[in-house]
A and B are shown apart, each in its own frame.
Chain A
Amino acid sequence: AQKVTQAQTEISVVEKEDVTLDCVYETRDTTYYLFWYKQPPSGELVFLIRRNSFDEQNEISGRYSWNFQKSTSSFNFTITASQVVDSAVYFCALSEPNYGGSQGNLIFGKGTKLSVKP
């Protein structure tokens, strides 16, 4: 069965701390895609990154980095030197070409609410 688990419901840090958001997934497919979305307090969902199952290279974008490890079925997201503007709910999601519905369907985790305090 396909499943995405974000075990951390809420995290609170002080500005400039580093923080890692965990994402663990389950899939039977060998080809799949993983996504991270950000939902700031304003409510809209913003796409952050996509990773395919054949590319285990870590990705860094400014203060954001992502660590994909197939051996542990994890796709973790780290924010370095966090800022108040990073406060949001972050969702990890899984997409599989051979999923029963549309090939584009996303399976979301329940989200992690990050609060960065000044």
Chain B
Amino acid sequence: NAGVTQTPKFQVLKTGQSMTLQCAQDMNHNSMYWYRQDPGMGLRLIYYSASEGTTDKGEVPNGYNVSRLNKREFSLRLESAAPSQTSVYFCASQNPPTAYNEQFFGPGTRLTVL
């Protein structure tokens, strides 16, 4: 039982390049989330998927797209990376998607955009 896994762990991009961050969970959770963590800013929600087949914007969605490929996988895509997207990205899952339940986090992806 691996929990929430993320790939890659580290990535360096040049401005304008695109990439997809992968996230998978093996806990059969319905909800999945993408956050970014910047120094002094805490975690901010980018997108979430309350259930398979649905996605919604969070607090900071600009410059990102997501795909809920199936119940296990939730990917985050940067179409044209910008230096402002340099951050640590965390994926999380939760079941059921209620205010009561804690979220389980992946190990994070550290992304640098030059």
Contacts and interface: CB of A to CB of B under 8 A. Distances in A.
Which of A91, A104, A106, A111 has the largest number of chain B CB atoms within 10 A?
Answer: A104
B42 interface: yes
Contacts, number: 70
B102 interface: yes
Interface string B38-52: 001111110010100
Given A44-B108, A47-B104, A105-B58, A96 B99 contact: yes
A108 B35 CA distance: 11
Given A95-B99, A97-B98, A104 B50 contact: yes
B63 interface: no
B42 A108 contact: yes
B105 A104 contact: no
A102 B59 CA distance: 12
Interface of A: 9, 31-33, 35, 37, 43-47, 50, 52, 91, 95-97, 99, 101-106, 108-111
